Amino acid sequence: MGNIGEIDEIINNEKITLQVGDDTYILLQDITLNIDRPIRRETTSGGGVVYFYGAGNNSFNFTLLASTPEIDSLNTLSKRHATTGALTSTAWKIVSQDVSGTGADDVATIECDGTLPHMEVVRLAGVGGVLIRGRVVVEGDSLTVTLS
């Protein structure tokens, strides 16, 4: 599994945001962290089973309510490189504030490098808002969680 450190620190958090710039935070309605590894099962000649595990296949799904600037930021991150066809890799930060805290020492930050291969933009009928659902595929084999 990826190194998820103090991941339990975000369980009881009320305010979770996606940082998309130096000072731009978008409030997340929900987030799902998917910690995954491919598994291959082989039967041995003695009748037992041996499991082989691949590299991390981690990702996170999110839903947020956004305005035009946030949509533009996310749209830029989902574009492919003109020459290589690769998606834009970026540093993602999920910042969460504990429900019982008000100071900077009650903040947990999850950081990872990843790409945005899936983004769904949904207009909310009647209210004019825009809902964005996305999936970020984590590059490498770990997520870093820091507490401050």
Assess if residue 30 is contained within a domain. Answer: yes
| pLDDT computed for residue 42 by the predictor | 92
Q: Is the pTM of this model over 0.85?
A: no
Mean pLDDT of 47-66: 88
Which range of 2-6, 31-35, 57-61 scores highest in mean pLDDT? It is 57-61
| pLDDT computed for residue 51 by the predictor | 92
Segment holding 70, helix H or strand E:
helix 68-77
Q: pLDDT higher for 119 or 78? A: 119
* CATH classification at residue 106: 2.30.110.20
Q: Which of 36, 3, 66 is nearest to 137 (CA)?
A: 36
Q: Residue 138 pLDDT more than 80?
A: yes
Q: Residue 39 pLDDT more than 70?
A: yes
| Side chain identity at residue 90, one-letter code | T
- State the pairing for strand pair 144-147/107-123: antiparallel
Mean pLDDT of 60-70: 79
State the Cα–Cα distance between residues 120 and 15, nearest whole angstrom. 22
Question: Strand pairing partners for 141?
Answer: none
- Say how many domains are in the chain: 1
Map 77-139 to HEC letters: HCCECCCCCCECCEEEEEEEEECCCCCHHHEEEEEEEEEEEEEEEEECCCCCCEEEEEEEEEC
Assess if residue 75 is contained within a domain. Answer: yes
Domain span holding position 58: 7-42+49-147
Q: Residue 57 pLDDT more than 80?
A: yes
| pLDDT computed for residue 14 by the predictor | 66
Assess if residue 83 is contained within a domain. Answer: yes
Considering the chain, what percentage of its residues have pLDDT values greater than 70? 72
> Can you read off the two tokens belonging to residue 122?
């949904």
Assess if residue 1 is contained within a domain. Answer: no
Q: Residue 61 pLDDT more than 90?
A: yes
Q: Give residue 3's pLDDT band: very low, low, confident or very high (50, 70, 90).
A: very low
Assess if residue 2 is contained within a domain. Answer: no
| Side chain identity at residue 54, one-letter code | G
